[in-house]
Chains A and B, each alone.
Chain A
Amino acid sequence: GAGVSQSPSNKVTEKGKDVELRCDPISGHTALYWYRQSLGQGLEFLIYFQGNSAPDKSGLPSDRFSAERTGGSVSTLTIQRTQQEDSAVYLCASSFAPVSRTGASYEQYFGPGTRLTVT
């Protein structure tokens, strides 16, 4: 079956503009996660969706960042008034099972990412 898809694959935008990044998870996967990764760095967790709700959005860096998920499927990450420090690869992942009460998750399947460059 199809894997996780993300669009666009690359996005170059001017500082101050808004951008929308899209994630299409694997069909049937209830959990969806957004991360970002700067060059040479580890993954930085942004937000976790279970269905259409976001039990944990603690990783969103500022109120310029928001995300939503509709129909328990597609998710959109929106960055308003982009800054140069927002430049990174934004990765989306999905998993079949929800996060457990202890915070553990089953395997996550990642999309190819969106490379965002803010000039």
Chain B
Amino acid sequence: SQKIEQNSEALNIQEGKTATLTCNYTNYSPAYLQWYRQDPGRGPVFLLLIRENEKEKRKERLKVTFDTTLKQSLFHITASQPADSATYLCVYDYKLSFGAGTTVTVRA
């Protein structure tokens, strides 16, 4: 069955450093992947969409890569700030099938 996994449930990082989150998928070749951010008590907020024929996508301090050979997408937050603390979700279908995501905590 199709499966998508994020590398860890929690990531703690010092302010100013780069946070890197990993999304791996198996038994599926998604045409694109989406990344969302969710803050406690709020609905997810769309961040970036990357297509299978795109190697990299950027938005401000965010960068997403898509490696169809490794079946992996990497999500980077550069120059991280405490305000970046949230749960980040990698999804590939309209049901937003994913686990609980990766919770990032940026320490000041």
Query: Are B31 and A100 in contact, CB atoms less than 8 angstroms apart?
Result: yes
Residue interface bits A21-50, CB-to-B below 8 A is 1, else 0: 000000000010101000011110100100
- Asked if residues A105 and B93 are in contact (CB atoms below 8 Å), the reply is yes
Other-chain residue from B45, B92, B94 in contact with A99 (beta carbon distance below 8 A): B94
Question: Are A104 and B96 in contact (CB-based, < 8 A)?
Answer: no
Of the stretches A11-19, A70-78, A79-87, A106-114, the one at the interface is A106-114
Q: How many residues of B contact A (CB 8 A)?
A: 22
Which residues of B from 54 to 98 have beta carbons under 8 Å from A? Answer: 89, 92-98
Contacts of A107 in B (CB 8 A): 34, 46, 49
Q: Number of A residues whose C-beta is below 8 Å from B?
A: 28
Task: Say whether A91 faces chain B, with CB atoms less than 8 Å apart.
Answer: yes
By the criterion CB–CB under 8 Å, are B97 and A45 in contact?
yes
Q: Taking CB as reference atom, which chain A residue is nearest B35? A: A107
Residues of B within 8 A of A59 (CB): 95
